[in-house]
A = this chain, B = another copy of it.
């Protein structure tokens, strides 16, 4: 079954699209409009250079409150030899901004003169003494803003293609304009298609998919300076989609057909484009997002009776993939440069930095591969930690601090290698980021909330307790959350720290004690009570990954109870978080799993407490002493925070802040 679309390299796809738009005479600014100069002009793009109609100031203006004089008559005034000037013929009071009398060429600031009337108070009268006395001379044109100091009539104020900022509006106004010619906003139609789609906020049944791509895309287009229109959902019906596309072609500059861009049974997008115009590209070698369609639609006069007229012009169309991450990246990659061109502005460019990868990335060698990453600075190293690569995982874009590009021609990169990252955040923000890696605990989410109030960003990656210690050894995190039980001694963490990060002085602080137990569906349909019940072949278990503290705890308890892991169905099925385990049970994919009470409560599961364990923070001394982590230590002593944590089910905060080890 050779049914798949053909991926072509990104630059070739872009070139074909551009060529078609050029051939249609549409590769230029779409149009201009004259708008009033007000705060709504903010963010618009100048359509032509703005030249000054008037000078600013348009007269010689006093730059200070003081007395206008001819500079030459002040010559010779000295501290020891004061000079007296008669108000009227020799000096005239001026306020800041007042025009200079035609006979004057300098201003003496009021604080530099003595009034012979010797009035002590600031009143309007003081400005009109009979005479003033000065003890130094003034140079010609001092304290004067000469005509044109800011702007000279006919001078260039702003170039074409400039995105208007607040101060620009002032300069344009100062140059004598009350309207400004800007480029027209490109109109973009967003057509969500799919029988399975339901609007935001719908009650969902299995198979329903919430249609929020059009919302994200509309917001992207808006923030890029375009004018988006979201069309209603069209079901997967070839004729209906054709009709909607033709309708959208009437009064839009670009059409985005969302989903149906793959090659499945109900993926009509490519066929629609073929029927109504020209299919240029179906499939681009870029991940995520490869089932992209690029083409053009013939804009024909629209008639109710469906008479076919010859085309008037063409409208570019992009078939945007259905997965939300693919959709958002497709808009960034294909739409943004086109909108920039149509708006006559520069392309948005993210800042790039080289960063050290914390994990190996495998990448298809033929593709330009965009990997979402969390970015933090640990010591001197800028680190990029890859996030979920699922194209359906929109939260990975929400959490991303940047995109790492693995260019085509490479098969991926190893941990520790340098990768180019396009940053979504400023470096200032990144430098306030606390990188926490290791075992996940719900306390970290609360901590993140509280730290945000103190100008810190806590980013936590879940790689299990052991993974966290290894990351600390590699200098890839500021701290790690760990709950590793030593099966020999019953002690937590210390022996593992000695093993995994020898010779690194650390501080270990107890965070919480928490219940571990079995999560099962309400009301425990399989009657599970202890680990012993996991050997029942009808019980499907879901495990945590190797290295996770919960996994170590399970293995320890199984050994005590002499239960062989291979007797447990599902022992090898691994999840990376407590919530992942809970979700597997809630969905029926498993009957039970070991985890914490809070995760069970989150998904409305029953919780059978079995053990209590300690969860510690492990912090290398080099970070324990810096400014970055200071607010975190403060938090551990804060009543408000302890209170919030103790609200979580199965949590005991009595140990919080206790120093377990300090080296």
Chain A residues at the B interface, C-beta cutoff of 8 Å:
1-4, 37-39, 42, 49, 54-60, 63, 65, 93, 95-99, 102, 105, 110-111, 113-115, 122-124, 126-127, 140-141, 145-161, 165-171, 173-174, 176-178, 196, 200-201, 204, 206-207, 209-210, 212-213, 215-220, 222-223, 228, 262-266, 322, 324, 328, 346, 349-352, 390, 392-395, 397-398, 426-429, 445, 448-449, 452-453, 455, 573, 579-580, 582-584, 586-589, 601-603
CB distance from A108 to the nearest CB of B (A): 11
| Residues in B neighbouring A452, C-beta threshold 8 A | 159-161, 346
* B196 and A97 form a contact (CB under 8 A): yes
CB distance from A18 to the nearest CB of B (A): 16
| Residues in B neighbouring A160, C-beta threshold 8 A | 449, 452
- 13 further interface pairs, Cβ-Cβ under 8 Å (given A37-B200, A96-B264, A127-B265): A1-B114, A4-B111, A38-B215, A42-B222, A54-B204, A56-B394, A141-B589, A170-B216, A173-B215, A174-B324, A176-B201, A346-B429, A351-B427
CB distance from A631 to the nearest CB of B (A): 14
The 10 A-B pairs with the shortest beta carbon distances in the complex, nearest first, are A178-B201, A148-B583, A173-B212, A166-B219, A147-B587, A154-B602, A170-B216, A65-B264, A99-B206, A59-B206
* A97 and B223 form a contact (CB under 8 A): no
- CB-based nearest B residue for A216: B170
| Residues in B neighbouring A266, C-beta threshold 8 A | 95
* B200 and A173 form a contact (CB under 8 A): yes
Can you report 13 residue pairs joining A to B where beta carbons are below 8 Å apart?
A: A1-B110, A3-B122, A42-B223, A57-B209, A57-B392, A59-B207, A96-B262, A96-B322, A150-B395, A152-B603, A159-B452, A174-B394, A346-B452
CB distance from A661 to the nearest CB of B (A): 30
CB distance from A372 to the nearest CB of B (A): 10
CB distance from A66 to the nearest CB of B (A): 9
| Residues in B neighbouring A140, C-beta threshold 8 A | 573
* A153 and B212 form a contact (CB under 8 A): no
* B324 and A170 form a contact (CB under 8 A): yes
CB distance from A470 to the nearest CB of B (A): 26
- CB-based nearest B residue for A328: B167
- CB-based nearest B residue for A156: B445
* B147 and A55 form a contact (CB under 8 A): no
CB distance from A151 to the nearest CB of B (A): 6
* B223 and A166 form a contact (CB under 8 A): yes
* A174 and B60 form a contact (CB under 8 A): no
Interface centre among A216, A346, A588, A601 (most CB of B within 10 A): A216
Per the bound structure, the CA–CA distance linking A210 and B37 in Å amounts to 13
Per the bound structure, the CA–CA distance linking A220 and B43 in Å amounts to 12
Interface centre among A165, A212, A220, A350 (most CB of B within 10 A): A212
* B55 and A113 form a contact (CB under 8 A): no
Given contacts A39-B222, A146-B587, A149-B390, contact A167 B397 (CB under 8 A): yes
- CB-based nearest B residue for A60: B587
* A207 and B98 form a contact (CB under 8 A): yes
| Residues in B neighbouring A148, C-beta threshold 8 A | 579-580, 583, 586-587
Residue among B150, B216, B350 making CB contact with A394, cutoff 8 Å: B150
| Residues in B neighbouring A603, C-beta threshold 8 A | 152-154
Per the bound structure, the CA–CA distance linking A544 and B60 in Å amounts to 20
Per the bound structure, the CA–CA distance linking A621 and B153 in Å amounts to 37
Per the bound structure, the CA–CA distance linking A99 and B196 in Å amounts to 11
- CB-based nearest B residue for A122: B3
| Residues in B neighbouring A220, C-beta threshold 8 A | 166
Residue among B3, B58, B149, B448 making CB contact with A159, cutoff 8 Å: B448
Per the bound structure, the CA–CA distance linking A83 and B219 in Å amounts to 48
